Amino acid sequence: SVKTLSKEYKIIIGWSILPKLGKILKKQQISESVFIISTDKIFGLYGKKLISMLKNSKISDLGFALLPDGEKSKSWESYEKLIKKIVDFDSGKEKRTTVVGLGGGVVGDIAGFVAGTYKRGVPFVQIPTTLLAMVDSSIGGKTGIDFRHKNKIVKNLLGQFYQPDLVFTDLSFLKTLPKRQLLNGLAEVIKYGIIKDEKLFEFLENRTSEILSLEKSAINYIVKTSCEIKKDIVQQDERETKSIRTILNYGHTIGHAIESASGLSFTHGEAISVGMIVEAKISNKLGLLKEKDLKRIENLIQKFGLPTKIKSTEVNKIISAMKYDKKFSGGKNKFVLPVRIGKVVIKTGIEEKKIVSILSGYF
């Protein structure tokens, strides 16, 4: 269970557990009226199955709306379309509609934003289908959409904290996940090892091939451990007001800037992989991180086949994109920097020229 000030909810994790969803929704009295938000691709794989399983559990008042795949769907235009569809579905109903997000991080973010803003908040269930969503974005209540400003896409510029009522994680979804998307999530798992858990980091170093081939016990361990780490941090700092939750942004100050500057041609995991290495190099240059730990971080990211460098993005674009970062305030940047494997510190106001010199030698 995740216990926050606004809500307490369960994270249910297992293999091939989708048939149990209807029963669980009824048991928790979440709703008998369900509106599913998904993508064309995910719904094509699992939508019919999910609908027939819900109907078997006597949940028959069902609606759905589908988005194109990819980050570009996390837009104001998509949000407006979804609100119109849920209003059409919901009008004249006495029962509260539950919004179900079936998909990866993009679906979870926009579905959560719809659930949190529609009628000042309706019940919300996350069914993450990607590793990234399972270990990260489905837990903790961050929802939102990207917004275009002055021809730049600014990630998560509009959003809110809105906790789900249930996170339902069926690990068998990973069997249909393309390798690039698996790696996308593994970048976040590596991040957890660096910020909080050296044992997890060592497991990733030693069991790389089992993880990549989806060996069940290896996947169970990395997903459950990652969820525990995220849960502990969120419980202490639900709304990122105490700097505790800020440590989850390791790799993201540079990573988000790379995503924005590249026009979202990199996956989130690819961008933060490079971000983690750049931020580890900044830490090393400041004398905070030993060379051997920097090498371990670089080697592990490389071992999983994630990028360690991105050539096509210009340094000045990254620096200007960083200024849109939510952690950038009073003209000062804020970085999460590793001091050893399993421990990070937060540093504010690192000189721009230091960052530029590291980035310039890097791309």
Name the catalytic one among 245, 281, 296, 327.
245
Q: Is 228 among the residues known to form the active site?
A: no
CA distance 282 to 302: 19
Per-residue pLDDT tens digits for 153-201: 888 889 999 999 999 999 999 999 999 999 999 999 999 999 999 999 9
pLDDT mean over 28-46: 92
Lowest mean pLDDT among 26-30, 73-77, 85-89, 341-345: 26-30
Give me the pLDDT at residue 310, please.
73
Name the catalytic one among 184, 249, 284, 333.
249
Q: Is 291 among the residues known to form the active site?
A: no
DSSP 32: S
Name the catalytic one among 256, 281, 296, 334.
256
Place 222 in a pLDDT band, splitting at 50, 70 and 90: very high
CA distance 144 to 111: 9
Per-residue pLDDT tens digits for 122-131: 999 999 999 9
Give me the pLDDT at residue 327, please.
62
CATH number belonging to domain 180-360: 1.20.1090.10
Give me the pLDDT at residue 324, please.
66
Q: Is 149 among the residues known to form the active site?
A: no
Residue 83 buriedness (CB in 10 A; 0-12 / 13-18 / 19+): middle
CA distance 118 to 115: 6
Per-residue pLDDT tens digits for 235-289: 999 998 888 899 999 999 899 888 877 776 788 899 999 999 999 999 999 999 9
Name the catalytic one among 74, 142, 196, 231.
142
Name the catalytic one among 74, 196, 231, 268.
268
Give me the pLDDT at residue 309, please.
82
Place 121 in a pLDDT band, splitting at 50, 70 and 90: very high
Q: How far is CA 302 from the centre of its chain?
A: 21
Domain over 2-177 is classified CATH 3.30.1330.10: no
Q: Is 284 among the residues known to form the active site?
A: no
Give me the pLDDT at residue 130, please.
98
Name the catalytic one among 230, 231, 281, 296.
230
Give me the pLDDT at residue 264, please.
64
Q: Is 202 among the residues known to form the active site?
A: no
Name the catalytic one among 240, 259, 270, 279.
240
Give yes or no for a contact between 125 and 152, defined as CB atoms under 8 angstroms apart: no
pLDDT mean over 91-109: 92
Name the catalytic one among 252, 296, 327, 334.
252
Place 328 in a pLDDT band, splitting at 50, 70 and 90: low
**Tokens representing 117?**
């803003």
* 303, HSE (Cβ side, Cα atoms, 13 Å): 20
Average pLDDT, the chain: 92
Give yes or no for a contact between 265 and 183, defined as CB atoms under 8 angstroms apart: no
CA distance 341 to 191: 10
Q: Where are the domains of the chain?
A: 2-177, 180-360
Q: Which residues pair with 280 in a beta bridge?
A: none
Give me the pLDDT at residue 312, please.
53
Contacts of 136 (CB under 8 A, 6+ apart): 105, 185, 188, 226, 230
Q: Is 184 among the residues known to form the active site?
A: no
Name the catalytic one among 188, 238, 259, 279.
188
Print burial letters for 154-192: b (CB count within 10 Å at least 16), e (below 16).
bbbebbebbbbbbbbbbbebbeebeeebbbbbbbbbbbb
pLDDT mean over 214-224: 98
CA distance 50 to 265: 31
Measured at the alpha carbon of residue 262, what is the angle toward residues 261 and 265, in degrees to the nearest 5? 150
Q: Is the pLDDT of residue 361 over 80?
A: no
Give me the pLDDT at residue 311, please.
64
Q: Look up residue 280 and give its amino acid.
A: A
Whether this prediction's pTM lies above 0.85 is answered by: yes
Q: Is the pLDDT of residue 46 over 90?
A: yes
CA distance 98 to 175: 27
Give me the pLDDT at residue 94, please.
79
pLDDT mean over 99-111: 97
Give me the pLDDT at residue 313, please.
58
